[in-house]
Amino acid sequence: MKQSSLESPKTATTLCYQGVVPVEWEQLTLPVDSALRQRYEHDNTVLLQGLLVVDEQPPIEHEEELSAFGQELQRIDHKLNLILELLTQTLRSWRKLPAPVPVELSVERVSWRAEEILPAGKQVMVKLYLSPIFPNPFVVTGAVVSGQEEKDGAWVSIHIDSLGAQVQDALEKLVFRQHRRDVARARLRRQTGEEGGVS
């Protein structure tokens, strides 16, 4: 996913997932019932685990690992199960996606550039299409906590309702993996710049 350098009105105190992705939102007039919430939690877990699998770096093979055939079969089986479930979700949710906008996502908050500002306290459901590979959305609900008008729209933030332990764990892993990659890229750019400046 393309990274965004957008400066948001809020000051981030924790790592967050940044990008430019399609976003949909709708106002909630009634609380989400427990059965539907569990479904969202399950689908979010599968989606994030799928993104982690796709984003996984190839392991470095060591001689002692070649004998771990059973563990490798279990890993392959786990990946196949995730792929099959993701395909099922994809078929269920396939449709034209909205235009991508800058977003920031953490385990506590999601912020995005909207067409209009939303009043604080409004209960909403937000769908984030985090990957073009898997068009099924990451779904969260919560209350609007801040909004700021900008020349090309508004920057809106909501405080996310409980994600569930599995979703939170997978999201934290995904956020940390992107952060680690960003740090490595920044270090490489600095090294390249230093080498280019040497005469």
Q: What confidence score (pLDDT) does residue 72 get?
A: 75
Asked whether residue 8 is domain-assigned, the answer is no
Q: Dump the DSSP string for 121-164.
A: T-EEEEEE---SS--SPEEEEEEEEEEEEETTEEEEEEEEPP--
| 10 confidence band (pLDDT: 50, 70, 90) | very low
Q: Check residues 195 and 183 and name the one with the higher pLDDT.
A: 183
Asked whether residue 146 is domain-assigned, the answer is yes
Asked whether residue 66 is domain-assigned, the answer is no
Asked whether residue 7 is domain-assigned, the answer is no
Q: Is residue 136 within 8 Å of residue 57, measured between CB atoms?
A: no
Structural domains counted in the chain:
1
Q: Is the pLDDT of residue 162 over 70?
A: yes
Asked whether residue 2 is domain-assigned, the answer is no
Q: Check residues 140 and 94 and name the one with the higher pLDDT.
A: 140
Q: What confidence score (pLDDT) does residue 147 get?
A: 75
| Per-residue pLDDT reduced to its tens digit, 32-66 | 999 999 999 999 999 999 888 877 655 544 545 54
Q: What token pair was written down for 111?
A: 């912020």
Q: Is the pLDDT of residue 79 over 70?
A: yes
Q: Is residue 156 within 8 Å of residue 27, measured between CB atoms?
A: no
Tell me how far apart the alpha carbons of residues 72 and 75 are, in angstroms, rounded to a whole number.
5
Q: What confidence score (pLDDT) does residue 143 get?
A: 94
Q: What confidence score (pLDDT) does residue 12 get?
A: 45
| Per-residue pLDDT reduced to its tens digit, 164-191 | 899 999 999 988 888 788 777 777 777 7
- Kindly report the three-state secondary structure assignment for every residue of 52-120: HHHHCCCCCCCHHHHHCHHHHHHHHHHHHHHHHHHHHHHHHHCCCCCCEEEEEECCCEEEEEECCCCCC
Task: Look up tokens 């479930």; give the residue.
Answer: 85
Single-letter code of the amino acid located at 65: E
Mean pLDDT of the chain: 79
Q: What confidence score (pLDDT) does residue 21 get?
A: 92
Asked whether residue 25 is domain-assigned, the answer is yes
Q: How far is CA 52 from CA 61, 95, 145, in A?
A: 20, 24, 29
Domain limits at 170? 17-55+72-192
Percent of the chain with pLDDT over 70: 78
Provide the 8-state DSSP code for 13: S
Q: Is the pLDDT of residue 5 over 90?
A: no
Asked whether residue 197 is domain-assigned, the answer is no
46 Cα distance to chain centroid: 12
Q: What token pair was written down for 13?
A: 């105190």
Region 94-113 average pLDDT: 88
Asked whether residue 199 is domain-assigned, the answer is no
Which helix H or strand E contains 19, and what residues bound it?
strand 17-27
